[in-house]
Amino acid sequence: MRPDTPAENVDHTAEAARLERTAGLYPEDAEALLVRAAAHLELSGDRPSATKLYDRLLSSPDGLENPPLVRALKASNLWEYGHEAEARAIIEGVRTTAPRDPAPWVIVAEALESHDELEAAQETFTEGARLLLTDVAEPPYSTHPLLYGRHRVRRMLGAPHDDWDRLADTLHTMPVSLDELHDPKRVWSLGSDDPADLEAEISRLRAELGAYREALSRPFPVAMLHWPAGELTELLEAYPSLSEEYPSYEEHLTTIEAALRELASSGTPNLGVVPGTVPSYEAFAASEGASPSDATLLPQYATTLAARGRAVAWPPQRGAGCWCGSGRTYGECHGTGA
């Protein structure tokens, strides 16, 4: 639902600057041009500058045609570079204003989804669908991503199909069904929730099964699963039987560091630490048709997260923060005596 942007080989910083200049020449089109410029800045990695552009738009004395869209884009961007609390507040504000445009609903729901807030994402998709599609004979094309996103999240949660899921199935006209596109195992293994990416992968699997098996054999980093303190507390409250795996948070951290050092001493390359969250673990368990209390799922969950690029290399670079999130450098924390 973000504005269209050119291919990866484009200089996004230069393109953003060009769009800003053009916005100055054509004030009547400034909103659309600056939104696209902010998208280019995000792609360039300069997220703070993108936020400044969103703020510039939101403070415009002439007002905006679609303020909820700009707020939704700002929230999604903020969350990507550490401003979670502010992003959540803006998302709640967007939901409260109940925009009649589906794009803000999709953007904030996908922001929640990308940070493993699957229940909240489902609620947001559903809230938007209820507002825009109740008593509508034929869903407008612009609302299709709302239904497709809701279908995807519900598949990840293992929820049974309801009327809106069946409507999404009906609207989807590609040869590969939504159920197959949104198969949780495939979403997890690919690390992508873009239907075009998933459809391309499914077609490739059907035509080139041998190549797919070869692709699956490529080495991923060996990653140890780390539960941050709050997540571990929530995990053990929900699934007490896992306390045998995690007697205490301190012992959990010690075990991770010891295991990594033992693997390193044996010559194992590409080591890493991957943080887990309870919502994403529950979604993974649902995709496997298993209970989250099954401890044998834990290493599979870690491997899957590592395959999605979530692992942080171990040991951290000199002077870098410790993998445990203490705020101290690795050398001052778990790297002491390394």
Residue 224 has pLDDT above 80, yes or no: yes
Question: Which residues, 6+ apart, have CB-to-CB distance to 52 below 8 Å?
Answer: none
Residue 218 has pLDDT above 70, yes or no: no
What token pair was written down for 78?
Answer: 């903020």
Alpha-carbon distances of 29 from 12, 50, 84, rounded to whole Å: 20, 18, 31
Of 226, 221, 225, nearest to 324 by C-alpha is: 226
Give the orientation angle of helix 209-216 with respect to helix 195-207, to 10 degrees: 110
Residue-level pLDDT at 216 = 40
Residue 103 has pLDDT above 70, yes or no: yes
Higher per-residue pLDDT: 173 or 236: 236
pLDDT tens-digit profile of 113-162?
989 899 999 999 999 999 999 988 889 988 999 999 999 999 888 889 99
Residue-level pLDDT at 9 = 63
Residue-level pLDDT at 206 = 59
Residue-level pLDDT at 3 = 46
Phi/psi-derived region of residue 309, left when phi > 0, alpha when psi is between -120 and 50, beta in every other case: left
Give the orientation angle of helix 67-80 with respect to helix 84-97, to 10 degrees: 160
Residue pair 299/288 in contact (Cβ under 8 Å)? The answer is no
Residue-level pLDDT at 156 = 84
DSSP state of 288: H
Residue recorded with tokens 């998933």:
198
Residue 8 has pLDDT above 70, yes or no: no
What token pair was written down for 100?
Answer: 């009649």
3-class DSSP state for residue 71? helix
Of 35, 7, 8, 5, nearest to 20 by C-alpha is: 35
